[in-house]
Amino acid sequence: MNTLFIGAGSMACALMRGALKSGALKKEETYALNRSNDMRMKELDEWFGVLRPGGGQSFDLVVLAMKPKDFDEAADVIRNHLSSKTVILSVLAGIPVSYIREKLGFQGGIARAMPNTSAALGKSATAVTLDRFDDRVMEEAVVHLLDSVGLTVEVEEHQLDLITALSGSGPAYIYYMAEMMQATAVELGLPSELARDLTIRTITGAGAMLEESGLDAEELRKNVTSPGGTTEAGIEALKAHGVEHAMFECISSARNRSEELGRQLIKTEKD
């Protein structure tokens, strides 16, 4: 499947890395372009051996992976690589399928997905909605590509803003927590490398328990929390400092921002 990534940043790279490694994409059929960062294109060539498209060359699959705010500006470039057989996979946060269709004048299949950067290791949690996929072969090819970089679930488009806030942005919340755990341990006296190693293994171990033990998060938490013990003291401190409220605000603010990103483009279009 001839595939073109338009946008060659973090998310495009994570998808390429995961899909090329799994064999869902072949490097001799994978192309990429960005706006101006030539160094990045050289890196992509070095890392993955992907190709640069010729002007007007059309593709079976075009992956939209620029920032949402850059989509309008990229529209001419995108159109240049579409044919009546092309399907589009968009990973743009907040941008509705209807807006992509209207802006590009595109009638074919559009998959709007929200993966995350763990795709690089085949561990993304991806949600996707498929619109006007008349061609079963291409539908299967797109789903296969997403499956090759992690878990894929099909959802309704209206759910994607909230899903973006949960699992699209989610890895960053965990990295932020890791940063804070590490920094606190160092501040309270542990050497940095030791704090780092123990934090990483604590998070990956807890992730593996969530995935493999068959127990839910609450039960796993209770198993660690001895009455009157250290964990209880720690969690009470988190509660007292409003962590539940903070998480509500975190996910709802990210959801609101996703909605706003779409509205902003639509508004700019109308102005």
Ligand X SMILES: NC(=O)C1=CN([C@@H]2O[C@H](COP(=O)(O)OP(=O)(O)OC[C@H]3O[C@@H](n4cnc5c(N)ncnc54)[C@H](OP(=O)(O)O)[C@@H]3O)[C@@H](O)[C@H]2O)C=CC1
Ligand Y SMILES: O=C(O)[C@@H]1CCC=N1
Strands 150-154 and 110-114, by their bridges, are unpaired
Q: Name residues contacting ligand X, limited to 54-73 (CB under 6 A).
A: 65-68, 70, 73
Q: Are 67 and 264 in contact (CB under 8 A)?
A: no
Residue 10 interacts with which of ligand X, ligand Y, none, CB < 5 to 8 Å by class: ligand X
Q: By three-state DSSP, how is residue 249 classified?
A: helix
Segment contacting ligand X by CB under 6 A, of 88-96, 182-190, 223-231, 237-245:
88-96
Residue 67 assigned as binding residue: yes
- How far is 247 from 46, CA to CA, in rounded Å? 40
Q: How far is the CB of 124 from ligand Y (least distance, A)?
A: 11
* For ligand Y, the closer CB: 10 or 223: 10
Residue 70 interacts with which of ligand X, ligand Y, none, CB < 5 to 8 Å by class: ligand X
Write out the DSSP string of 114-181: E--GGGGGT-EEEEEEEES---HHHHHHHHHHHHTTEEEEE--GGGHHHHIIIIISHHHHHHHHHHHH
Answer for which of 51, 87, 88, 91 binds ligand X (CB under 6 A) is 91
45 binds ligand X (CB under 6 A): no
Residue labelled with tokens 């057989």: 85
* For ligand Y, the closer CB: 20 or 93: 93
* Helix%, strand%, coil% for the chain, nearest 5: 60, 15, 25
- How far is 65 from 10, CA to CA, in rounded Å? 9
Residue 18 interacts with which of ligand X, ligand Y, none, CB < 5 to 8 Å by class: none
Q: Which residues bind ligand Y (CB under 6 A)?
A: 93, 164, 168-169
Q: List interacting residues with ligand X (CB under 6 A).
A: 6-12, 33-37, 40, 65-68, 70, 73-74, 77, 91-93, 114-117, 168
Binding-site members for NADP(+) are 6-11, 65-68
